[in-house]
A and B are shown apart, each in its own frame.
Chain A
Amino acid sequence: MKLLVPVKRVVDYNVKVRVRADGSGVETAGVKMSMNPFDEIAVEEAVRLKEKGIASEVIAVSLGVAACGETIRTALAMGADRGILVETDAELQPLAVAKLLRAIAEREQPGLIILGKQAIDDDMNATGQMLAALLGWPQGTFASKLEIAGETIAVTREIDGGLETVSLSRPAIVTTDLRLNEPRYASLPNIMKARKKPIETLTPAALGVDPAPRLALVKVVEPAKRQAGKKVGSVAELVAKLKTEAKVI
């Protein structure tokens, strides 16, 4: 079984983002970029499935500017076998991403596609569900555990009230939650090896997809800042303030 793992290049999770003064977006120039953390979990899960002999090949896909090739290299260094880069300077929204991934899935015929549940930049939490819909495949979102037995995949999902397990028939879509695994660090030899692994470059046009965004960005602003309040000296003072000043208890 082939596995497909889409990986997104995002502003590193440790960076405190700054909104551009003209309201046109968030400053990304000169900012450290990394693989979306949920996608790292997806790559790790795919590589583990290969190590267990369940998967035959792991293909990492990234969509966007040429630098997304670096994100694919990271996935290759973690253990993916080859990469596909769909190169475009267009802003890609989840619907366009799902259409591009559908086109790749139709070419590659994977048995399972594992995606991060959300990207930490646009926080949309949509691409996996949309790709599942376009392919007509079942979906197991927000996965904290994955068990593959023959043609079915048992996915334990993190839901609001606790956990839920669903059984999916292959091919299927899984999106990762935080507790699925802890991604490995790529070792230096594996980083060197990854340089030799192949990356194919495609374009949206070659895949027959119009990537034009459907949501127009009107503006981006900073949220109202909370002012740091005061320190209280004791529990008794805290309770008194909550009662008489904040009036919340």
Chain B
Amino acid sequence: MTALVLLEHDGHAVKQPSRSALAAAARLGGEVHALLAGSGLAEVAVAAARLPGVTKLLVADAEAYAHALAEPLAALLVALAPGYTHILAAATAMGKNVLPRAAALLDSQPISDVSEVIDADTFVRPIYAGNALATVRSADAKKVITVRAASFDPVAAEGGSAAAEPVEAPASQAGSRFVSAELVKSERPELTAARVVISGGRGMQNGENFHLLERVADRLHAAVGASRAAVDAGFVSNDMQVGQTGKIVAPELYIAVGISGAIQHLAGMKDSKVIVAINKDEEAPIFQVADYGLVADLFKALPELADELERGA
């Protein structure tokens, strides 16, 4: 039994959700190999070979993989599949795009967003926005799995020494072409990797007011998130959305500001260790999941909170 984990990277480092996928793969009980695909992988391949628990690192360095398009990556996974019983990736936008495509080509029903590994065939996954947890057993010869990163502590970034091995890129008919990307640049930690997350909702009223959250985030080295309502209203960009269909986070501390607590938002953050809610409506459902609730006008409370944290620092 050997598992293959498709790694996600930025050309320099392997992303943290992939390290959580490696942790999930280790729970299967067999050997774990990792696949690094992209163009110009020399630097990141050195980093990836140090990931603990990985006995072999497959490196697919080709122009076709430069933008992680699903069509060539799925073809690559299918070409490698004969050597594996399990194929995994983190349930990120990339993993969710690529793995089901590979699964269909392998005639396997993918197991999406796995939050617990029971055994090599049996997994727990949230359904209905996390309002129920389903335990499912796969009868497929090859299990294709995306991993809910927030549910598995990531393996360390270093400590292993995998043997790297280049792999040939199989031919794949493209049909798709990368045109452009508008990536949001931020000095802050990534939402899915941050120890503290502070999110704003419709109560923020506009995008400019998010600077009030940023001042607090600066003090706490926090990532800044948003509810779907705030993203739909155009206050902030889609990459900040926390929720059922956005990012799933489980930080040490989650601070929800001006967020009512719709089911789909709770689905993205209710596994946080400590939840703080600041909302002027004391009936807001967010208070039902918050460890600490402050009924207050956020436009007063946020500056006060930033001041208080600065004083204490």
Q: Which residues of A contact B (CB under 8 A)?
A: 11, 13, 16-17, 19, 26, 38, 93-95, 98, 117-118, 120-127, 129-134, 136-142, 144, 154, 157-169, 172, 177-179, 213-223, 226, 228-232, 234-236, 238-239, 241-243, 246, 248-249
Contacts and interface: CB of A to CB of B under 8 A. Distances in A.
Given A123-B126, A129-B70, A239-B312, A213 B176 contact: no
Interface string B114-139: 00000000100111111111111111
B104 A95 contact: yes
Given A26-B127, A160-B247, A162-B184, A246 B107 contact: no
Given A139-B71, A214-B108, A231-B293, A238 B131 contact: no
B132 to A, nearest CB: 5
B274 A159 contact: no
Contact of A138 (B96, B98, B175): B175
Contact of A178 (B132, B192, B228, B301): B228
B308 A136 contact: no
Contact of B276 (A223, A228, A234, A242): A242
A66 to B, nearest CB: 23
A179 B100 contact: no
B177 interface: yes
A239 B305 contact: yes
A19 B134 CA distance: 10
A59 to B, nearest CB: 22
Of all A-B residue pairs in the complex, the 4 with the closest CB atoms, nearest first, are A138-B175, A130-B104, A229-B291, A214-B109
Interface size bracket, B side: 35 or more
A121 B127 CA distance: 6
Contacts of B136: 215-218
A20 to B, nearest CB: 10
Interface of B: 67, 69-71, 74, 92-94, 96-105, 107-113, 122, 125-140, 173-184, 192, 196, 220, 228, 231-232, 237-239, 244-245, 247, 252-253, 263-264, 270, 273-276, 282, 287-296, 301, 304-305, 308-309, 312
Contacts of A218: 122, 135-137
B184 to A, nearest CB: 4
Contacts of B294: 231-232, 234-235, 238
A131 B301 CA distance: 49
Contacts of B104: 95, 98, 129-131, 133-134
A141 B139 contact: no
B7 to A, nearest CB: 14
18 contacts: A95-B104, A95-B107, A121-B128, A134-B105, A137-B175, A162-B239, A164-B67, A166-B179, A214-B139, A218-B136, A218-B137, A223-B130, A235-B308, A236-B308, A239-B305, A246-B274, A248-B273, A249-B196
B128 A123 contact: yes
B274 A125 contact: no
A26 B128 contact: yes
A228 B70 CA distance: 42
B79 to A, nearest CB: 14
Given A159-B93, A232-B293, A235-B296, A126 B105 contact: no
A220 B125 CA distance: 10
Contacts of B180: 164-165
Nearest to B290: A229
A202 B108 CA distance: 25
Contacts of A117: 245
Contacts of A132: 70, 101
B239 A126 contact: no
A71 B105 CA distance: 29
A248 B290 contact: no
A144 B232 CA distance: 11
Nearest to B123: A215
A16 to B, nearest CB: 7
Given A133-B104, A217-B134, A139 B176 contact: yes
